[in-house]
Amino acid sequence: MIITFASSKGGVGKSTTCAALASALALEGDRVLLIDLDQNRTLDRWARKAPITGLTVAAIEPQKFGGFFRDAEASGDYDHICLDLPGSREVTLFKALARSDLVVIPAQASEPDLREALVVVGDIRDVGETTGRAIPYRLLLTKVYPLRTRVTDFAYAELARLGLPLFRTALVERSAYREMFLNGQPPTVSEAGKGAGVEVVNLLAEIRAIVDEANTPNIRKAG
């Protein structure tokens, strides 16, 4: 799978979600390459604190992305590639979208975040029209309060009104996600079988189902 994590707005949990899912895949025994394209190099620093077997993290300058990605994909060394994009709109965004099996768009339950998510959705649709390939994507609500609030209700209602696809799983505001960058321990380790660990496992199951469904027509045609 090639999973891209995209947002044109900072502070939505993009890098956190990418790290949590990439580490969960590696802990299941898969070979995972996480390409850190964010200028803050958050994931590159995180990976040095508690290296995980099967997870390779590479911090790449955006202008070198195309060649690096092609070589990594052709090498056959990885089962999955996760892309943590810069928190801005630039040419790397469009290159990554065109190569993605799924685009994850993290957003908090707020009007500004949803507005910025719509920008990314527009870019995905533009790239899809250009390449002639429907690119699957889902919005992911992050940093959600444990109890429903009027703001959360607004977010769900607005997403339904706009007809935007949304993960059933939402990431609740939990200390495990913040502590991950202090001690290097991903949620599936620090909260295995509960809380954040269960959220990540459930989200990963959704991602696999979406990618499998998107690839099924191609498999049938090939048969």
Token pair, residue 154, equals 């607004």
What one-letter code names the amino acid at 66? G
Looking at residue 69, its pLDDT comes to 93
The yes-or-no verdict on residue 220 having pLDDT over 70 is no
User: pLDDT at position 41, please?
Assistant: 87
**Cβ–Cβ < 8 Å for 93, 81:** no
Closest by Cα among 91, 96, 61, 95 to 81 = 96
Compute the distance between CA of residue 32 and CA of residue 90 in angstroms, rounded to an integer: 25
The token pair at 15 is 């890098």
Q: Using one digit for the tens of pLDDT, what is the confidence trace for 86-145? A: 876 667 778 889 899 999 999 988 888 888 889 899 999 999 999 898 899 999 999 998
- Whether 223 has a pLDDT exceeding 50, the answer reads no
- Average pLDDT for 208-217: 87
**Alpha carbon distances (Å) from 111 to 7, 34, 74:** 14, 30, 41
What is the per-residue pLDDT for 165?
92
Name the pLDDT band for 2 (thresholds 50, 70, 90): very high
pLDDT of residue 84: 93
| Residue in the structure block whose two tokens are 């380790």 | 189
* pLDDT, position 217: 61
- Comparing 101 with 222, the larger pLDDT belongs to 101
pLDDT of residue 153: 84
Pick from 113, 163, 115, 155: nearest CA to 137: 163
Please, is 200 exposed, middle or buried when counting C-beta atoms within 10 Å of its C-beta (0-12, 13-18, 19+)?
buried
Q: What element of type H or E holds 183? A: helix 175-183
Burial label, 185 (beta-carbon count in 10 A; 0-12, 13-18, 19+) = middle
Mean pLDDT score across all residues of the chain: 89
Residues paired with residue 35 on neighbouring β-strands, in sequence order: 58, 83
Separation CA 56–CA 117 (nearest Å): 28
DSSP 43-97: HHHHHHHS--TTEEEEE--GGGHHHHHHHHHHHT--SEEEEE--SS-SHHHHHHH
Residues 38-47, mean pLDDT to the nearest whole number: 87
Supply the pLDDT for residue 222.
Answer: 37
Separate counts of helices (H) and strands (E) for the chain = 9, 6
Inform me whether the pLDDT recorded for 56 exceeds 90: yes
**Most confidently modeled of 6-15, 26-35, 86-95?**
26-35
Q: Which architecture characterizes domain 2-222 according to CATH? A: 3-Layer(aba) Sandwich (3.40)
> Is the pLDDT score of 147 beyond 70?
yes
The residue that leads in pLDDT, 30 or 214, is 30
